[in-house]
Homo-oligomer: A and B are copies of this chain.
Amino acid sequence: MNVRVLLEAVQEGRMTIAEAEKSLRDLAFEATPFAHIDHHRLLRRGFPEVVYCEGKTTQQSAEIFSRLALKNPNVLATRAEPEVFEAVKEQLPEATYDELARCIHLHRDQAVSGYGTILVVTAGTADLPVAREAYVTAEIMGNKTVLISDVGVSGIHRLLAYKETLQSAAVIIVVAGMEGALPSVVGGLVDCPVIAVPTSVGYGASFGGVAALLAMLNGCSSGMTVVNIDNGFGAAYAASLMNRKRP
């Protein structure tokens, strides 16, 4: 069904807004020679398609970003090299760049729509780039977000000093490389959902984050779920869905 036809039906009262909204969730995308941009993801999933830049040319990334910016207040690009930002900025001077996180964000609608605080915790300083990607994502998706860095398990008193902060969060994202033990310890201290993000920090038998990933999948603290290695974005996206205000 064509979108115009649908909107006319709504205008003329032959279709309720609820019905129209549901139909629209399935329908529309914008076809370019290299991508099918899914504009209605905002309707269907509550947040627009995000530009994942790896494997795309600078021009492709920038063009998708611009097209999304025409129809959405907030746009995010992850894994973006500085040259992608340069290209975006020419079109959208208000876009900003987080160098550590390698994210471009256009944050025009800064309303906080989430229910509680999303807390991002890292085991070490080297886990910061991934944690920043999570932080930036959670924030642009309308959440109050807090970041605590370098409280890994080899000095457990550093973590325990933040017990109250941990126990008052709505969702916790725990970012850790090497042996990936921190999420299990955090998970045992709180009663909110914990999302574990393994990072590729480490060497030798860390196998680019596999050791941390396996540890997290085998975590003995119930209630923990896991995302891909270095996937700070995915963790924050999932956390945002968990932190939604309920009707």
Contacts and interface: CB of A to CB of B under 8 A. Distances in A.
Interface of A: 22, 25-27, 29, 33-36, 38, 41, 44-47, 50, 54-56, 60, 115-116, 123-128, 149-158, 161, 167, 177-181, 184-185, 187-193, 195, 198, 200-231, 233-235, 237-238, 240-242, 244, 246
Residue of A149, A225, A240 contacting most chain B CB atoms (<10 Å): A225
A156 B229 CA distance: 25
Contact of A154 (B33, B151, B158, B187): B187
A45 B54 CA distance: 36
A37 to B, nearest CB: 8
A162 B6 CA distance: 20
A138 to B, nearest CB: 12
Contact of A229 (B128, B149, B177, B205): B205
Contacts of A215: 179-181, 211-212, 214-215
A173 to B, nearest CB: 10
Given A154-B184, A191-B44, A228 B217 contact: yes
Given A216-B179, A233-B222, A185 B156 contact: yes
Contact of A204 (B184, B193, B228): B228
Nearest to A170: B246
Given A189-B156, A217-B204, A222-B237, A125 B35 contact: yes
A115 B153 CA distance: 29
Contacts of A193: 238, 241-242
A225 B227 contact: yes
A219 B235 CA distance: 12
Closest 5 A/B residue pairs (Cβ): A55-B126, A204-B229, A181-B181, A225-B225, A211-B214
Contacts of A211: 211, 214-215, 217-218
Nearest to A28: B157
A204 B230 contact: yes
